[in-house]
Structure 1
Amino acid sequence: MITDSDGPLPLPAWPQHGAEERAGLLRALEQEGWWRYGGGEVELFEREFAGHHGAAHAVATTTGTHALELGLGVLGVGPGDEVIVPAFTFIASSLAVQRLGAVPVPADVLPGTYCLDVGAAARLVTPRTKAIMPVHMAGQFADMDALRELSSATGVPLLQDAAHAHGARWRGLRVGELGSPAAFSFQNGKLMTAGEGGALLLPDGASHREAVLQHGCGRPPYDRVYAHLTQGSNYRMNEFSAAVLRAQLSRLEGQIAVREERWARLRKALGSLAGVEPQDADERCTVNAHYMAMARLPGCSAGRRLAVVEALTARGVPAFVGFPPVYRTEGYWRGPVRGTPGELAGRCPVAEELGRDCLWLHHRVLLADEPVVDRVADLFADALAAG
């Protein structure tokens, strides 16, 4: 076991940056304009990000939450509509729905991958359902085969929440090749980052034109007569963020390859510990981007899990408790809802369990050298014994 005499845990820093980001910031600084219609960085980033993910188009946004809002807006979601979301996810997934006046409908998730249970989602489709929002949890794809079948059978479109899935692949297909809009986040902890930011991938020209309008207050690009043609907001990304993200994109694939290797090693070590179940892999997810290294402590109380997380952080391991079910947050009940906490909990037993026993490690752990990954596993064992 590792003792304090081993010194600070030598994890890679995050975010990572270098000469490419510096050069990009100077390019943006020295342009004629610093907003997307005054320079070229945002447009170039959109083209490069869409191409990297196999999408026809991309629209860069201020945040990942705004990318979700924009995607819902493009799908025509509005007040009184329903959107099916996983119960176990960061609250941005349901919050984006509520900000448009629509009702998030939490569905349970699978106990192994923590992704949307498609059967549970199917049982919640009603005439009011305007979209289904799978979340690719920690880089592990939701079951896109079953989801696409459900979408085809019901006529309800999908909006992929791909905030954790930069560069991931399903059956060899990139996120943008799956035929539905997909929203990404570039918040400080994400796999690519400019501190904040987001992007929405779009499958065709019509949806792209609508997204461009909505993300600029309903106004066409380069309009000079204030022709606001639709509803929307100002979700436009600035040139500095786009310049940084172009550099971040250039190193994404190399980092994914390292994380894939290190997760196999860490997963094996964690899986050998009594009382620990690492997140499962769906073999159809041919590339997992590994935004988080997630695991469960089945049967563990929320208090004991917190003690394990605190023991890990005290030893320099960036550890966090898992998400509570969205309906277990106070903020959820401040927006449009249907049902009661008890009713939602009753139909989401797996999300309830995950809310108590799931924890995760920051993905920079998976960028560390192999001996450091082994040390993290030993520290996890120590924290489990102490907790």
Structure 2
Amino acid sequence: MSSGVRLGSDLPAWPQYDDAERTGLIRALEQGQWWRMGGGEVDAFEREFAEYHGSEHALAVTNGTHALELALEVMGVGPGTEVIVPAFTFISSSQAAQRLGAVVVPVDVDPETYCIDPAEAARAVSAKTRAIMPVHMAGQFADMDALDKVAAESGVPLIQDAAHAQGATWNGHRVGELGSVAAFSFQNGKLMTAGEGGAVLFPTAEMAEHAFVRHSCGRPRGDRGYFHRTSGSNFRLNEFSASVLRAQLARLDGQIGTREERWPLLSSLLAEIPGVLPQRMDPRADRNPHYMAMFRVPGITEERRAQVVDTLVERGVPAFVAFRSIYRTDAFWEMGAPDLSVDELARRCPNSEALTSDCLWLHHRTLLGTEEQMHEVAAVIADVLGS
């Protein structure tokens, strides 16, 4: 263990749970049917999640990657099509499209919000583009005003990668009120979780029903004769996971409230540390659930950043290096990559290149701590960076 400034007490643990999850699991167990076709937990969760996000149509699925893949398939993404994604994102944003046979076109992000640059997205649209995928990075909405304009002018629909954005709003509008498909993740580290899980919000009943059939091996509701209508896969969520997610959703508002109180304080403290630039909040993103507390240290090397993260973790701060630009992974080039080299993509995405090297993030449980702990976290970061 390294010497130096450390936290005086442990930050809140994650995941969080109480008797609400226990009650839900027993309820799912005792109903006697543990898959969605016979039980009621998944159906109830879909209704509650849709209502919470201002949508009429939610479909729960196995995980966030499958949520993206299914949504893109319903939108007509497949061989011969292209999908525009931010270069700075988790690899699932691109892999969901690539596994459908589409070519992914990475574009640069805003250097302060870390979200897709609408102007770059507009420049990347071609006759083959089937979708533009903004990622609401760390709970910070991408510029949906500008992106809606790009979509309207190009005729290319948006699909919101909202894996980080449960409960977020843009100009007072919830994710499901923005008129585009949105996909969520409930992986273990996310803002609400059942270990794994995902959901998709659809703007129309027709799209939602199409997705339901595809997520159930192409089998329509009520089918007893194995009349599979389409190709598909088994992306069905189970009843136990749904019961846990119902409890997680019920406490989400309170947790978001705490994180929204803590981020301005922690952000201001981080900004006082020489060389540290916290993620900028767009004021139009008027409710930010803060999946990650992100900041940059321009000029730091990747090696030094890794050392900083290791030391922060040793001292009780749950820190991580940020995502790598998707084209700087072997996985990106296995299938569905554009006919460009890494160097060519790097020249087109200078902000993503910088974030690959100099961005760090803290787990959102940090922002569930006390005000005193925000001061302690900032002091630890200052000490580690200064050592």
Deviations 1:131-187 (A, max 9, x none): 000000000000000111111111101000000000000000000000001000000
Counterpart of 1:287 in structure 2 is: 287
Q: State the 4+ residue runs in structure 1 displaced beyond 2 angstroms.
A: 2-9
- CA displacement at 1:5 relative to structure 2: 8.5
Counterpart of 1:340 in structure 2 is: 341
Counterpart contact for 1:139–1:292, Cα < 8 Å: yes
Q: In structure 1, give the amino acid aligned to 2:285.
A: C
SS in structure 2 opposite 1:251? Answer: helix
Counterparts of 1:363 and 1:41 in 2: how far apart (Å)?
A: 27
SS in structure 2 opposite 1:249? Answer: helix
Counterparts of 2:281 and 2:323 in 1: how far apart (Å)?
A: 19
Counterpart contact for 2:55–2:177, Cα < 8 Å: yes
Counterpart of 2:120 in structure 1 is: 120
Counterparts of 1:6 and 1:153 in 2: how far apart (Å)?
A: 52
Counterpart of 1:11 in structure 2 is: 11
Relative to structure 1, is the Cα distance of residues 274 and 206 closer, same or farther in structure 2, using a 3 angstrom cutoff? same
SS in structure 2 opposite 1:15? Answer: coil
Counterpart of 1:381 in structure 2 is: 382
Counterparts of 1:119 and 1:6 in 2: how far apart (Å)?
A: 43
Counterpart of 1:270 in structure 2 is: 270
Counterparts of 2:3 and 2:373 in 1: how far apart (Å)?
A: 14
Counterparts of 2:130 and 2:357 in 1: how far apart (Å)?
A: 31
Counterparts of 2:8 and 2:87 in 1: how far apart (Å)?
A: 37
Counterpart of 1:99 in structure 2 is: 99
Counterpart of 2:369 in structure 1 is: 368
**Residue 160, structure 1, aligned to residue 160, structure 2:** yes
SS in structure 1 opposite 2:121? Answer: helix
Counterparts of 1:167 and 1:336 in 2: how far apart (Å)?
A: 32
Deviations 1:270-325 (A, max 9, x none): 00111000000100000011000000001211112112111111101110001110
Counterpart of 2:204 in structure 1 is: 204
Q: In structure 1, give the amino acid aligned to 2:158.
A: L
Q: In structure 2, give the amino acid aligned to 1:233.
A: S
Counterparts of 1:76 and 1:151 in 2: how far apart (Å)?
A: 16
Counterparts of 1:366 and 1:222 in 2: how far apart (Å)?
A: 45
Counterparts of 1:240 and 1:68 in 2: how far apart (Å)?
A: 22
Relative to structure 1, is the Cα distance of residues 121 and 60 closer, same or farther in structure 2, using a 3 angstrom cutoff? same
| TM-score, normalising length: structure 1 | 0.98
Counterparts of 1:50 and 1:314 in 2: how far apart (Å)?
A: 40
Counterpart of 1:326 in structure 2 is: 326
| TM-score, normalising length: structure 2 | 0.98
Deviations 1:241-282 (A, max 9, x none): 000000000000100000011101100000011100000010
SS in structure 1 opposite 2:183? Answer: strand
- CA displacement at 1:50 relative to structure 2: 0.3
SS in structure 2 opposite 1:281? Answer: coil
Counterparts of 1:82 and 1:93 in 2: how far apart (Å)?
A: 13
Counterpart of 1:213 in structure 2 is: 213
- CA displacement at 1:7 relative to structure 2: 6.6
Counterpart contact for 1:86–1:107, Cα < 8 Å: yes
- CA displacement at 1:9 relative to structure 2: 3.6
Counterparts of 2:383 and 2:214 in 1: how far apart (Å)?
A: 51
Counterparts of 2:238 and 2:19 in 1: how far apart (Å)?
A: 20
SS in structure 2 opposite 1:105? Answer: strand
Counterpart contact for 1:9–1:317, Cα < 8 Å: no
Counterparts of 2:199 and 2:100 in 1: how far apart (Å)?
A: 18
Deviations 1:4-30 (A, max 9, x none): 686764210100000100000000001
Relative to structure 1, is the Cα distance of residues 4 and 351 closer, same or farther in structure 2, using a 3 angstrom cutoff? closer
Counterparts of 2:247 and 2:229 in 1: how far apart (Å)?
A: 34
Q: How many residues align?
A: 385
SS in structure 1 opposite 2:45? Answer: helix
Counterparts of 1:103 and 1:140 in 2: how far apart (Å)?
A: 26
Counterparts of 1:8 and 1:22 in 2: how far apart (Å)?
A: 31
Relative to structure 1, is the Cα distance of residues 185 and 16 closer, same or farther in structure 2, using a 3 angstrom cutoff? same
Counterpart of 1:109 in structure 2 is: 109
SS in structure 1 opposite 2:141? Answer: coil
Counterparts of 2:96 and 2:7 in 1: how far apart (Å)?
A: 43
Q: Which runs of 5+ in 2 are unaligned?
A: none
Q: In structure 2, give the amino acid aligned to 1:54.
A: G
